[in-house]
């Protein structure tokens, strides 16, 4: 998988250690440290798992357990923009199946894949906590209610302008 278009920094161990160190003395450091790593590098590198374990004095298994429990964490480099389409019950009852097709077409991307130009990663998720405004889509951290392919495309274009 390519990673030529990304707004994230390239993973490096020294920087990862510096990012994780402030969490060494807080309670429940693993989740916070993983979030910090992902915010900075766009994903959690395998080396980051070891770094968190060492710096926070926890086992690799514990870090791995948290990493794999939360579906939001990525273990491979991220595309420029993350698009998540909710396919849980409330959204399904309001057309998320069609929405998946519409969004895939609008972004020229298959589900669970990156677009050819590596700018968009499209995934499905189960509930974005926005059931009242189903169907819901998340474009990076922006939640879109009553989503349509058009609305999603518009937000993606906006993000591209912001990032590139």
Judged by the rule CB under 6 A, the positions of this chain that interact with ligand FES are 86, 88-91, 127-131, 134, 136
Shortest reach from residue 146's CB to ligand FES, in Å: 11
Shortest reach from residue 78's CB to ligand FES, in Å: 22
Shortest reach from residue 127's CB to ligand FES, in Å: 4
Helix (H), strand (E) at residue 48? helix 46-56
Q: In what order do the strands lie in the sheet with 142-144?
A: 113-114, 120-125, 81-86, 137-139, 142-144
Cα torsion through 103, 120, 66, 125, rounded to 10: 0
Residue closer to ligand FES, measured from CB, 48 or 136: 136
Q: Give dist(CA 53, CA 38) in Å, integer.
A: 16
Residue closer to ligand FES, measured from CB, 50 or 95: 95
Shortest reach from residue 40's CB to ligand FES, in Å: 27
Q: Give dist(CA 107, CA 72) in Å, integer.
A: 21
Q: Give dist(CA 164, CA 156) in Å, integer.
A: 12
Shortest reach from residue 149's CB to ligand FES, in Å: 16
Residue closer to ligand FES, measured from CB, 89 or 150: 89
Q: In this structure, are strands 113-114 and 81-86 parallel, antiparallel, or unpaired?
A: unpaired
Residue closer to ligand FES, measured from CB, 19 or 134: 134
Residue closer to ligand FES, measured from CB, 66 or 134: 134
């Amino acid at each position: 998988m390519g990673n030529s278009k990304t707004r994230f920094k390239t993973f490096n161990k020294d920087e990862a250690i510096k990012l994780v160190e402030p969490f060494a003395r807080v309670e429940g450091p693993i989740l916070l440290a993983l979030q910090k790593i992902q915010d900075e590098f766009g994903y959690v590198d395998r080396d980051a798992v070891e770094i968190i374990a060492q710096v926070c004095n926890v086992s690799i298994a514990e870090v791995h357990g948290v990493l794999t429990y939360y579906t939001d964490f990525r273990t491979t480099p991220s595309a420029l923009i993350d698009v998540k389409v909710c396919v849980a019950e409330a959204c399904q009852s309001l057309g998320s199946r069609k929405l998946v097709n519409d969004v895939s077409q609008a972004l020229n991307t298959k589900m669970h894949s990156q677009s050819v130009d590596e700018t968009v990663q499209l995934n499905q998720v189960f509930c974005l906590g926005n059931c009242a405004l189903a169907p819901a889509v998340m474009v990076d951290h922006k939640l879109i209610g009553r989503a349509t392919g058009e609305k999603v495309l518009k937000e993606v274009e906006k993000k591209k302008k912001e990032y590139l």
